[in-house]
Amino acid sequence: MALKIRKLAFALGAEVTGLDLKQKQSDDAIAQIRQAWVDNLVLCFPGQDLGPQEQMAFCSRFGELDDHRSRPHWNRPDFPEVNIVANKPVVIGGKTLQVLIADKWHTDMSFSVRSATASFLLSKTLPPIGGDTMFANMYRAYDALSPSMQAFADTLEGVHDVSLAPDFHRYTPELQAERRRNHPPVVHKVVRLHAESGRKGIFAGGFLRNFIGYTEQESRPLIDFFNTHSTAYEFVYRHAWKQDDLLMWDNRCTMHFAVQDYDCSQLRQLQRCTLFAPVSGRFLDAGQPAAASTGMA
């Protein structure tokens, strides 16, 4: 079986049609999807009206599902592997879920020693217009640096801090304290080699606080440069959601940004699964328990 793949933008992104993801996919189809994902960084599967269990079944074919135990306030109570991304509090099974508005360029879970490989986001309720998500190709961003800047960036390590989350200021003081406790600052290389493509990409984003060996004040201009440079128009794809679009993106070589260009009195709700990456970072404070197998700090 050959997938029907149509590129959505020059920089990254492709649409995959001809599949009903409610059905169990063959190993061959999963291998083809994986290759298309590695090649295109973001895939859109339109018209996939999946329930939480169906979404989990598809996503788990690509790796280990994050059960989100270190950040339970966004999870469905019945299926903790399924996060709800909503701009208003949503009640499911008697549990009121925390709002999630990701309006800052970031890579999912970069504040964890096991950052994410794939994220899968399925649109459930959309505002009448707007509420797009933008994605940036971090390979292209790296390739476009001068050789001198590439060589310097290759030497840098960055500290990622959960308290720089886009909506951290919306949390209660108790939730802020819990988030800091569960996710103490971690260190990742600023340039990472992708395990499947073998290409180098910049690993920056909104959680990046400073570089090891440099103060926050010294680091800030270069962090701002990496984030601005990486999100230039020519490196970006902007996805205008349709109902039941399932997006699958590669956090190892992209960043994304949820654009708040819609009537925020309207509900925007999506459901997300995330896959654990192998351990690729370390805790800044070596005294932290290395509970990386669970994603807990």
Q: How far is the CB of 180 from ligand SIN (least distance, A)?
A: 20
Q: Please, which residues have CB within 8 angstroms of residue 191's CB and are 6 or more apart in sequence?
A: 142, 150, 153, 154, 156, 200, 201, 202, 203
Work out whether 246 is an interface residue with ligand SIN (CB under 6 A).
no
Given a contact cutoff of 8 angstroms between Cβ atoms, the answer to whether 295 and 182 are in contact is no
**Which one of residues 11, 33, 82, 102 is an interface residue with ligand SIN (CB under 6 A)?**
102
Work out whether 81 is an interface residue with ligand SIN (CB under 6 A).
no
Work out whether 248 is an interface residue with ligand SIN (CB under 6 A).
no
Q: How far is the CB of 123 from ligand SIN (least distance, A)?
A: 9
**Which one of residues 32, 40, 112, 133 is an interface residue with ligand SIN (CB under 6 A)?**
133
**Which one of residues 12, 19, 85, 116 is an interface residue with ligand SIN (CB under 6 A)?**
85
Q: What does DSSP say about strands 42-45 and 14-17: parallel, antiparallel, or unpaired? A: parallel
Q: Closest Cα partner for 255 from 155, 142, 87, 156?
A: 142
Work out whether 97 is an interface residue with ligand SIN (CB under 6 A).
no
Given a contact cutoff of 8 angstroms between Cβ atoms, the answer to whether 273 and 56 are in contact is yes
Distances (CA, A) of 76 to 44, 49, 80, 147, 242: 23, 17, 5, 46, 23
Work out whether 107 is an interface residue with ligand SIN (CB under 6 A).
no
Segment holding 139, helix H or strand E: helix 138-143
Q: How far is the CB of 223 from ligand SIN (least distance, A)?
A: 19
Q: How far is the CB of 132 from ligand SIN (least distance, A)?
A: 8
Q: Where do contacts with ligand SIN occur on this chain (CB under 6 A)?
A: 85, 102, 108, 119, 121, 133, 256, 258, 272
